A and B are shown apart, each in its own frame.
Chain A
Amino acid sequence: MTAVSQRFLFWTIVWFCILILSVPTIIVVGASFTTANMISFPPEGFTFRWYEKIALARDLQQAFIRSLFVSTVCLIVSVPIGTLAGLALARFRIRFANLVQVYLLLPFTIPLIGSGIGMMLIFGEWRILGSLWPIGVALAVINLPFIIWSVSSAAGALDSDLELAASSCGAGRFETFWYVTLPGVMPGVITGGLLMFVLAMSEFLVSLLLTDARTVTLPVQIYNNIRSIITPDLAAVSSVFVVIALFAVWLLDRLVGLEIFLKSK
């Protein structure tokens, strides 16, 4: 159906996109197996040496554990709050709903540097700057729209007659919520939680603003090390993020199917 010239032009552009999107990732993973002490291309030899090295490096280990902790805090804060808000937006008639939506989108509309600096000043005022858990809270704030969106679209797809049926069969309000509504929106909650966790793992700018030498998380640690020198062990650390991302994409595809993002609203 499409003209040959169109196919040729479009596919050339698509291949160019695929190239610039995936080559950096492939290069990073490839570089982590090089036997040379500096990153070189094509990689020389094949070794797991750098993975052994990072597994033994205390600073990287601790940064990784801190990242896990921060992401867990982000999950604990954002999942209940985001789920309730998502349900409220999809299930209840709310006055000024438009205004509420604009307000809840602030985390996306305020530039990250602004949000980060603002929370840094607030946390400084409250004397909690320098602890680890506020970073998790901050990451929950900046990504909150993701989980609200995923829960409210799951709740929008749920037939509200189910809840009416439950209550007409004698279920109390809490039982209806616990046995009908919550399981119904569970796919949305899980998807949202997954997004929150993975995005918190790899978040950089707000983490950079809120961490210090004692609370540095893994992405910030990578950034700090790049500033000084590029070495293969850094590529090995970065590969950890590639593995996490692969897992997240696979899980997202299994849970909701990536094609859902192509649907027109």
Chain B
Amino acid sequence: MDALNRTLDIVWPARMMPYTGWALLMPALLLVGLLVLGLFQMADSSLHTLDRSTFLPSENYTLENYRTVVENATYGKIIWRSVLGAVLTVFFTLLLALPYSYIMVRTSSSAVRKVLLVTLFLPFFIGQVVRAYGLLIILGTTGVANNALGLVGVEPIRLLFNFPAVVFGLVQYMLPFAVLMLAPALTAIPRETETAAASLGANWLQSFRHVVIPMAKPGLIGAGLVVGTLALTDFAMPAMLGGGSQDFIANAIYDQFFRTADQGLGAALALMLVVLGSVFVAIVISIFGAGTLGMGGKK
């Protein structure tokens, strides 16, 4: 131990103390730097078009790829579909997440609370592929949903490989995120405010609309933006539940890299998505501050 102390005194003498914080941060800064490097590499790729005769990226720098994305109607359609999917997902997810977190926070039974929490965390750890697989089995033509419909005399219908199936999958995927972001916001609302509203003659709908929702607004906006960004950039749900006919932006990017091997165009699309996502995030941070995730023990 003494030897270690002495070594530390030599390599990091006490007068260096003011920089200790930065020294401890350095490995993390470098590791995340990998992402920044990746962005630069992407930007570089996006400025070269694919030469169709040699299948190599062109030598000279050009904005051609960005023009293709903007002018090509296919991408317009895909971007529109992603944005619409994200908006619908946010709406339905919040609609479900608000009562769920409300009950979870306000229930007096700790057993109920535990069950509700476990129900949320389990899917979070199971992973997206397995969850999408479960939904595939349920929604398939011979699946549970259709069998249930069959019992009440409804003919088997195609529940998979369409836009609503993708949105449903996204809502199911985002629900735990939304609830976990909303719950702390609801915890912060004192129970007494609602009691006060009720004693002044408000029914529950009124007190919910005029007391709970306004007070939970930061949480609602935060959850909405996070869910929106994740849904907008999702790959697995459109790929698995959309069956290739319901591509989102991420699927289009993947196809450019792995099917048509047009790196430049794919990189341009990816970079535009990063910018779009960053705009959302900038809004979140400017509303809530950078400590949104509670990093740093701010006292």
Residues of B within 8 A of A125 (CB): 41
B135: interface (CB < 8 Å): yes
Residues of A within 8 A of B32 (CB): 103-104, 106-107, 141, 144
Please tell me if the beta carbons of B117 and A100 are within 8 angstroms of each other in the complex: no
Please tell me if the beta carbons of B99 and A14 are within 8 angstroms of each other in the complex: yes
Please tell me if the beta carbons of A28 and B204 are within 8 angstroms of each other in the complex: no
B123: interface (CB < 8 Å): yes
**Cα distance, A245 to B130, chains bound together (Å):** 11
Please tell me if the beta carbons of B277 and A92 are within 8 angstroms of each other in the complex: no
A132: interface (CB < 8 Å): no
B41, chain A: closest CB distance, angstroms: 4
Please tell me if the beta carbons of A173 and B5 are within 8 angstroms of each other in the complex: yes
Please tell me if the beta carbons of A117 and B38 are within 8 angstroms of each other in the complex: yes
Please tell me if the beta carbons of A155 and B290 are within 8 angstroms of each other in the complex: no
Contact pick for A202, options B39, B125, B203, B281, CB 8 Å: B125
Residues of A within 8 A of B24 (CB): 84-85, 87-88, 92
Residues of B participating in the A interface, judged by any CB pair closer than 8 Å: 1-2, 4-5, 8-9, 14, 20-22, 24-25, 27-29, 31-32, 34-39, 41-42, 45, 95-97, 99-100, 102-105, 113-114, 116-131, 133-138, 140, 142-144, 147, 171-172, 175-176, 180, 183-185, 187-188, 195, 198, 203-205, 208, 229, 232-233, 235-236, 240, 249-250, 253-254, 257, 266-267, 270-271, 273-274, 277-278, 281, 285, 289-299
A238, chain B: closest CB distance, angstroms: 4
Please tell me if the beta carbons of A265 and B294 are within 8 angstroms of each other in the complex: yes
B56, chain A: closest CB distance, angstroms: 14
B95, chain A: closest CB distance, angstroms: 8
**Cα distance, A6 to B102, chains bound together (Å):** 11
Please tell me if the beta carbons of A117 and B127 are within 8 angstroms of each other in the complex: no
A47, chain B: closest CB distance, angstroms: 18
Contact pick for B42, options A41, A99, A108, A118, CB 8 Å: A118
**Cα distance, A6 to B205, chains bound together (Å):** 8
**Cα distance, A142 to B127, chains bound together (Å):** 15
Contact pick for B100, options A14, A118, A175, A208, CB 8 Å: A14
A166: interface (CB < 8 Å): no
Contact with B along A1-26 (1 / 0, CB 8 A): 11101100111011011101111110
Residues of A within 8 A of B175 (CB): 17, 20-21
Known contacts A3-B203, A24-B123; 13 additional CB pairs below 8 A are A10-B102, A17-B100, A104-B295, A105-B295, A111-B250, A113-B250, A172-B5, A175-B1, A175-B5, A226-B240, A238-B134, A241-B130, A262-B105
A219: interface (CB < 8 Å): yes
Residues of B within 8 A of A1 (CB): 195, 198
Please tell me if the beta carbons of A31 and B21 are within 8 angstroms of each other in the complex: no
Which residue in chain B gives the minimum CB-CB distance to A24?
Answer: B134
Residues of A within 8 A of B20 (CB): 88, 92
Residues of A within 8 A of B27 (CB): 80-81, 84-85
Residues of A participating in the B interface, judged by any CB pair closer than 8 Å: 1-3, 5-6, 9-11, 13-14, 16-18, 20-25, 27-28, 31, 39-41, 77, 80-82, 84-94, 97-115, 117-122, 125, 137-138, 140-141, 144-145, 148-149, 152-153, 155-157, 172-175, 178, 198-199, 201-205, 208-209, 219, 222-223, 226, 230, 234-235, 238, 241-242, 244-246, 248-249, 252-253, 258-259, 261-265
**Cα distance, A17 to B257, chains bound together (Å):** 37
Residues of B within 8 A of A86 (CB): 295
**Cα distance, A125 to B42, chains bound together (Å):** 12
List 6 tightest A-B contacts by C-beta distance, closest first: A118-B38, A156-B297, A24-B134, A202-B127, A92-B21, A172-B5
Residues of B within 8 A of A156 (CB): 296-299
Contact pick for A119, options B35, B104, B144, CB 8 Å: B35
B206, chain A: closest CB distance, angstroms: 11
Residues of A within 8 A of B278 (CB): 109-110
Specify which of B32, B172, B205, B295 lies most central, judged by the most chain A CB atoms within 10 Å of its CB: B295
Residues of B within 8 A of A40 (CB): 142
Residues of A within 8 A of B21 (CB): 88, 91-94
With A10-B103, A28-B137, A114-B271 in contact, is A103–B22 under 8 Å at CB?
A: no
Please tell me if the beta carbons of B290 and A105 are within 8 angstroms of each other in the complex: yes
**Cα distance, A133 to B85, chains bound together (Å):** 35
18 pairs, A vs B, C-beta closer than 8 Å: A24-B134, A25-B122, A27-B134, A81-B28, A98-B290, A105-B292, A117-B267, A117-B270, A203-B127, A208-B235, A222-B130, A223-B236, A230-B140, A234-B133, A238-B130, A249-B125, A262-B104, A262-B184
With A109-B277, A114-B274 in contact, is A28–B8 under 8 Å at CB?
A: no
**Cα distance, A209 to B254, chains bound together (Å):** 8
Please tell me if the beta carbons of B38 and A115 are within 8 angstroms of each other in the complex: yes
